Amino acid sequence: MAVMEQPSSPVQAEKKVLYSETIPIQDVDADNHSLVESIERLEQENRMISHTLSKLEEESGLLRELFNNANRELASMKKPALLVAEVVNCQGENKAIIKLPNGNRFFCHIAQEVKELQSGDCVLIDQKTLNVVEKAAIATSLDVEKFIILEKPTESWEMIGGLSKEIEEITEVIELPLKKPKLFEKVGIQPPKGILLHGPPGTGKTLLAKAVAKSTEATFIEVVGSELVQKFIGEGAKLVKDIFNLAKSKAPAIIFIDEIDAVAALRMEHGLSGEREVNRTFMQLLAEIDGFDNLGNVKVIAATNRIDILDNAIIRPGRLDRLIEVNLPDEQGRTEILKIHTKNMNLRKVKLKELAAEMVDFSGADIKAVCTEAGYCAIREQREYVTPQDFRQAIEKVRCECDEEEGEELFG
Ligand SMILES: Nc1ncnc2c1ncn2[C@@H]1O[C@H](COP(=O)(O)OP(=O)(O)OP(=O)(O)O)[C@@H](O)[C@H]1O
Ligand SMILES: [Mg+2]
């Protein structure tokens, strides 16, 4: 700090006053310094605020997008649902007869934007006006491939035991016409269009159908009757039509309809809508079977455990008029089936004939289960070979399981 002297004259005193009001340079420096610091702090604060601002702007952009999406979704939800229908035929440029899945037909106007409609196209129609508003991009003929099993089976005749009579009959009815259609033309007879395999579960019906497909090198199209009527409500009849078209395009082909009773059971009344739907599917099936030619290279094999409830219409002459019963195997049959399923097993002192005698009323599937279970008995005892004792235990186990199932069926 500067030491101030006492003034000796008024002028000097004034000078002194002036001098005393002058701010020392150090103070100015300090002020300046604190100002610079404040500016820096403010600048930093400013940077933080702009950073927060840009973050908020980004967030607000996201929220706006979310809002727009939700709005769009809401708007689309408010739109009325459109009906799916099939074009039966076009009447000029802007009118068409369309058919709803329930079979009802309508004469409709076609919206201007919808171009080049053809019979068989799938269209979307407005529920109120019944106008065609859009052509649906549903590949009707390809969709069917998702609903069925399409394969070239690998099961051969050698894998089937005890059914030589049935095999002979199937060969005659299915294989021969597919392989030698000319022979039938020359002799002048029409082979059946298909067969119906019936009998208890697990007796080899599916196996027979697959084996005939393999021996004829035909495409095997497997459809399950209950799925046809349960999974595709309203679409069953159309699906049947598409399945037959697919078979024709993949010929030679075998259409295997398992559990045909689900579609072709005799019904007392046709009043319920579900019943009507099953009935329509059934009618379409009959129409398709009637519609193709006996010597064509598509054959139908149907299977059921419930021939007692079948509608006779399906087995009338010209349809699936060859019935083949596939029964539980007799002792000789059981021995043959045992031979097939133990072919790759490491057996010791096992007499298949004796085992077959013990397996009264066992189906082919039961016998297969016995072989697998006997193998497990050996594995559990850390053996690499299977003994008669393993088989006896397995037979008991499978017999108990069968009895339990029967009991459940009897007492619900
Ligand atoms: N005769 C048989 N010879 C060899 N194996 C058989 C025989 N019958 C059944 N099997 C065995 O049982 C399995 C089931 O048979 P399959 O599916 O053919 O019976 P299914 O008669 O079609 O039965 P479901 O009526 O229940 O459909 C077959 O994969 C096969 O391993
Ligand atoms: Mg089967």
Please tell me the number of the ligand nearest to residue 326's CA: 1
Phi/psi region, residue 318 (left: phi>0; alpha: psi -120 to 50; beta: rest), is left
Domain 144-325, CATH number (from 3.40.50.10490, 1.10.10.60, 3.10.129.10, 3.40.50.300): 3.40.50.300
Instruction: Tell me which residue has tokens 């009325």.
Output: 80
Residue 225 Cβ inside 6 Å of ligand 1? The answer reads no
Window from 51-65, 173-187, 291-305, 382-396 with minimum mean pLDDT: 291-305
H or E segment and range at residue 123: strand 122-126
Task: Please determine whether the domains at 82-138 and 144-325 fall in the same fold group of CATH.
Answer: no
pLDDT of residue 141 exceeding 70: no
Spacing, Cα 44 to ligand 1 middle (Å): 82
Q: Summarize pLDDT for 1-47 with one digit per residue, the tens.
A: 444 455 556 555 555 555 556 778 888 888 899 999 999 999 999 99
The architecture CATH gives domain 331-411? Orthogonal Bundle (1.10)
Instruction: Tell me which residue has tokens 């601002």.
Output: 53
Where along the chain do its domains lie? 36-79, 82-138, 144-325, 331-411
Q: Summarize pLDDT for 264-277 with one digit per residue, the tens.
A: 887 655 555 566 77
- Please give the number of the atom of ligand 1 that sits closest to the Cα of 305: 25
Burial class (CB in 10 A: 0-12, 13-18, 19+), 31: exposed
Window from 24-38, 58-72, 333-347 with minimum mean pLDDT: 24-38
Question: What's the whole-number mean pLDDT along residues 203-219?
Answer: 91
Instruction: Tell me which residue has tokens 């409709």.
Output: 108
Q: Which CATH superfamily is domain 82-138 in?
A: Nucleic acid-binding proteins (2.40.50.140)
User: What CA–CA distance (Å, rounded) separates 67 from 64?
Assistant: 5
Give the residue from 387, 365, 380, 314 showing the smallest Cα distance to 160. Answer: 365
Q: Summarize pLDDT for 230-250 with one digit per residue, the tens.
A: 665 567 788 888 889 888 888
Spacing, Cα 190 to ligand 2 middle (Å): 28
Residue 162 Cβ inside 6 Å of ligand 1? The answer reads yes
Structure tokens at 111: 């919206």
Measured at the alpha carbon of residue 72, what is the angle toward residues 68 and 74, in degrees to the nearest 5?
115
Question: What's the whole-number mean pLDDT along residues 77-88?
Answer: 83
Is the peptide bond preceding residue 252 cis, with omega within 30 degrees of 0? yes
Q: Summarize pLDDT for 51-64 with one digit per residue, the tens.
A: 999 999 999 999 99
Residue 307 Cβ inside 6 Å of ligand 1? The answer reads no
Residue 400 three-state SS: helix
Scanning 205-330, the segments in alpha helix (DSSP H) are: 205-216, 225-230, 236-249, 261-264, 273-291
User: What CA–CA distance (Å, rounded) separates 255 from 296?
Assistant: 13
Instruction: Tell me which residue has tokens 């309508």.
Output: 106
pLDDT of residue 135 exceeding 80: yes
Residue 339 Cβ inside 6 Å of ligand 1? The answer reads no
